[in-house]
Amino acid sequence: MRQPHGGKLINRILDKDKRKLIKDKIFLFKSIMLNKRQISDLEMIAIGAFSPLEGFMNKEDYENVLYNMRLANGLVWPIPITLPVNKDEAKRFEKGEDIALLDEFGTVLGVLHLDEIYQYDKELEAEKVYKTKDSKHPGVNILYSQGDVLLSGKISLLEKPKHTEFTNYYLTPEETRKIFNEKGWNTIVGFQTRNPIHRAHEYIQKCALEIFDGLFLHPIVGETKSDDIPADIRMKCYEVLIENYYPKNRVILAINPAYMRYAGPREAIFHAIIRKNYGCTHFIVGRDHAGVGNYYGPYDAQQIFKKFKEEEIGITPLFFENAFYCKKCGGMASSKTCPHSEDEKIIFSGTKVRQMLQDEKIPPLEFTRPEIAKILIKGMKQKWTEYNI
């Protein structure tokens, strides 16, 4: 099993005694109410998923990440992890003080040990991280709508954010590493998706299972785009698939409470590092990993790994072409394994499948398992009803 990024799994969760000491004086602290994405980042830092980060980035790290995709110490890191506030709010704070971090209900989740307050250029960040300044890009839209000042400092977690869904699937990096060790897995391949599972995913995952000791299915359940398939539907699909079509002793399913950035190539590196921290030795990178719209080239998410030596990232990427069903081969294949013409290939776009589901039509078996299709139709019908789509 690989070492965590930076060599040490970070743990910023306070023990009982330290938590009591802070709680006894928390009423003296100024406070910030976090949004859901900031709460997710707080949790991911605290449990070590964002190792080696111990808090929100200072200016030196932030600028190095923008320009070089590295922290100031040279360690590969592609995505800024920051805590933005508006200018008026920033005026309330002074370096060196502790700030209570609240959820929307006023619960104190943690403390920011403030060490720096700095301004930043949103358009520069958009261009560097997302490769576009277009506010229609979901990541850029969030960036433009957030505060103009960043606060940095280590964090301490007092209370883990409540996960009312998927509680049986919530595992920290420390816990997954323990499970992998207990199972005797030396090679673990991680798989990331925000989409419902289909036959192409299944094909890729089972190809990996032929080679490696275990498969770690780690779908994102933090907030995604409004037109993405909801997390509860995606998780039900995984449960059915594992129950009926996978060797249960070789697969671990757990939630990833992170938020999607839709940063394409940079986020592919980011997702690989996160899975390394959870204990994976390998990570599957799709053709358009973490992409959205037409903002990134077809293979940018795979090409970006060439910018770094493998030992710098510390996890081995596995690159897969788009898979499809070939009528002549009689099974799933990709351009690497199938020599036949386009006429023999059954390729379903997300738009076409979404329309079929909306019309309550079961997609062909070549695209998805019937059990999965039924879950998708039922779940999406409920979603469309709720949103009057």
SS3 readout for 117-149: EEECCHHHHHHHHHCCCCCCCHHHHHHHHCCCE
What's the CA gap between 296 and 242, in Å, rounded? 32
Sign of the CA dihedral with 194 first, then 197, 198, and 199 last: positive
**CB under 8 Å to 145, separation ≥6 — which residues?**
none
Bridge partners, residue 102, by sequence: 33, 108
- Token pair of 103, please? 């959820």
C-alpha of 360 from chain center: 30
User: Which tokens in the block code for residue 193?
Assistant: 């998706």
- Reference 3, options 294, 276, 372; nearest CA is 276
Q: Residue type at 321? A: E
Selection from 314, 253, 262 nearest residue 291 by Cα: 262
pLDDT of residue 224: 60
Structure tokens at 303: 């090409």
For residue 257, give every residue at least 6 positions away whose Cβ sits within 8 Å of its Cβ, in sequence order, or none.
Answer: 40, 43, 44, 161, 163, 170, 221, 222
Cα–Cα distance for residue pair 45/169, rounded to 1 Å: 19
CA 303 to chain centre: 19
* 105 neighbors 141 (Cβ within 8 angstroms): no
Inter-CA distances, 66 with 49, 230, 249, 260, 285, Å: 21, 31, 41, 18, 22
H or E stretch including 316? strand 316-319
Query: What is the residue type of 31?
Result: S
Report the C-alpha gap between 151 and 119 in whole angstroms: 9
Whether residue 52 is preceded by a cis peptide bond, meaning omega within 30 degrees of 0, is yes
| Ordered domains of the chain (ranges, CATH) | 16-157 (3.10.400.10), 167-256+260-386 (3.40.50.620)
Query: Residue 332 in contact with residue 325, Cβ under 8 Å?
Result: yes
Relative orientation angle of helices 265-278 and 173-183, to the nearest 10 degrees: 60
Residues with catalytic roles: 194-195
Q: How many other CB atoms are found less than 10 A from the CB of residue 22?
A: 17
How far is Cα 283 from Cα 316, in angstroms, rounded to an integer? 6
| pLDDT tens for each residue of the chain, 389 residues long | 889 999 999 999 999 999 999 989 999 999 999 999 999 999 999 999 999 999 999 999 999 999 999 999 999 999 999 999 999 999 999 999 999 999 999 999 999 999 999 999 999 999 999 999 999 999 999 999 999 999 999 999 999 998 878 889 999 999 999 999 999 999 999 998 776 778 888 999 999 999 999 999 999 887 666 666 778 888 899 999 999 999 999 999 999 999 999 999 999 999 999 999 999 999 999 878 888 889 999 889 999 999 999 999 999 999 988 889 999 999 999 989 999 999 999 886 666 776 777 788 888 888 888 898 888 888 776 655 554 44
Q: Assess contact for 131 and 111: CB atoms under 8 A.
A: no
Whether the Cβ atoms of residue 81 and residue 53 lie closer than 8 Å to each other: yes
Neighbouring C-alpha atoms within 13 Å toward the C-beta of 288: 13
Amino acid at residue number 146: Q
Grouping H, G, I as helix, E, B as strand and the rest as coil, residue 116 is strand
